[in-house]
Amino acid sequence: MVEIRHVPVLLRETVDGLRLGPGDTVVDGTLGSGGHSLELFEKVFPGGRLIAMDMDALAIERFKRRIAPIGWAKQALDEGQIQLFHANFSEIADVLDEAKAEKVSGIMVDLGFSSDQMDAVERGLSFSSDGPLDMRLNQENPLTAQRVIAEYSEERLTQILKEYSEERFARNIAQAIVKERSKISIMTTKALAEIVQRAIPKRYHARNIHPATKAFQALRIEVNEELLNLKTFLPQAIGRLAPGGRLAVISFHSGEDRIVKQFFQENARGCICPKEFPICRCDTRPNIKKVTAKPIVPSDAEVASNPRSRSAKLRIVEKL
């Protein structure tokens, strides 16, 4: 296994669940630090192909630097067996067209952020260090977290906090932000975290989780349009799988998992006729089957060694 600083979540479960073999073509829609990608490529090597994409151009450049000393991986990149694209996973159909891959054997996405991204102070994805309120994975995106905080109405702020992170004190936080920004611009992660912390009653502060955790999650989702991208990606991914090919999705919060679960249920169900119909009239057939009846979650050992994995859920389906 190649040494990479970022620890891939549910690595073995994902790689084994995709059931790949030599000669297959596999897609990693969220390259990140490349931990999943290299393991997937080892499964399809020799003769196979890895197509990986990321909306973060820096992630692609880091991956290239990391595999440069690894002879077989560098050669595969040079010869086109590993193809890298600066694109969002919601653009998978366009990427596969460009890569001249009509159908593929496996697709995966990890909807979390890599340690490289979370620890980059200039990205402002975390409040563990004080940085600018940016939160963009794609630096070409004009919308930053600072703009959301400065320009969104109290109602809109409340809405995204409720919808994207199920924040119990969404209204309190939105009111506190609007009040503070009327006096001074909110520019840094530390400043925002302190506002959120003060807006939540102390008796509701969790012992091991910072009070601003959910608020920052909601802002990251809004800035990067994560839920919209997921909804756009899923039907494209199923459409580009070859029969018997598999799709694996790792999600990290209830909103993401709900979208994935519902989409998989609808596409695995088939008939959508009312229950009172004695025979099917819609002629709708399932196009996938579930490989995981329930989501796979990290083991206690994985959570202990990588606390960021604690909320991960893996769902896998197979194309019929």
Over the stretch 181-220, which tens digit does the pLDDT of each residue have? Answer: 999 999 999 999 999 999 999 999 988 889 999 999 999 9
Decide if pLDDT at 3 tops 50: no
Decide if pLDDT at 43 tops 60: yes
pLDDT in tens, 84-125: 999 999 999 999 999 999 999 999 999 987 777 777 777 777
For domain 11-116+226-319, give its CATH number from 3.60.110.10, 2.30.30.100, 3.40.50.150, 1.10.3720.10.
3.40.50.150
pLDDT in tens, 60-87: 999 999 999 999 999 999 999 999 999 9
User: Structure tokens of 279?
Assistant: 């025979």
Decide if pLDDT at 273 tops 50: yes
Decide if pLDDT at 2 tops 50: no
Residue 6 pLDDT class (50, 70, 90 cuts):
low
User: What is the Cα–Cα distance from 17 to 11, expressed in whole angstroms?
Assistant: 10
User: What is the Cα–Cα distance from 187 to 75, expressed in whole angstroms?
Assistant: 44
Give yes or no for a contact between 219 and 145, defined as CB atoms under 8 angstroms apart: yes
Give yes or no for a contact between 20 and 244, defined as CB atoms under 8 angstroms apart: no
Length of the chain (residues):
320
User: What is the Cα–Cα distance from 146 to 89, expressed in whole angstroms?
Assistant: 25
Tell me the helix, strand and coil percentages in the chain, rounded to 5: 45, 15, 40
CATH 3.40.50.150 in the chain, residues? 11-116+226-319
pLDDT in tens, 27-41: 999 998 899 999 999
Choose among 92, 112, 105, 53: nearest CA to 231.
Answer: 92
CATH 1.10.150.170 in the chain, residues? 144-224
Q: Work out the mean pLDDT of the chain and round it to a whole number.
A: 92
User: What is the Cα–Cα distance from 111 to 183, expressed in whole angstroms?
Assistant: 36
User: What is the Cα–Cα distance from 144 to 254, expressed in whole angstroms?
Assistant: 23
Give yes or no for a contact between 147 and 154, defined as CB atoms under 8 angstroms apart: no
CATH level 3 topology of 144-224: DNA polymerase; domain 1 (1.10.150)
Higher pLDDT, 127 or 141: 141
**DSSP 8-state class, residue 56:** -
- H or E element at residue 80: none
pLDDT of 56: 92
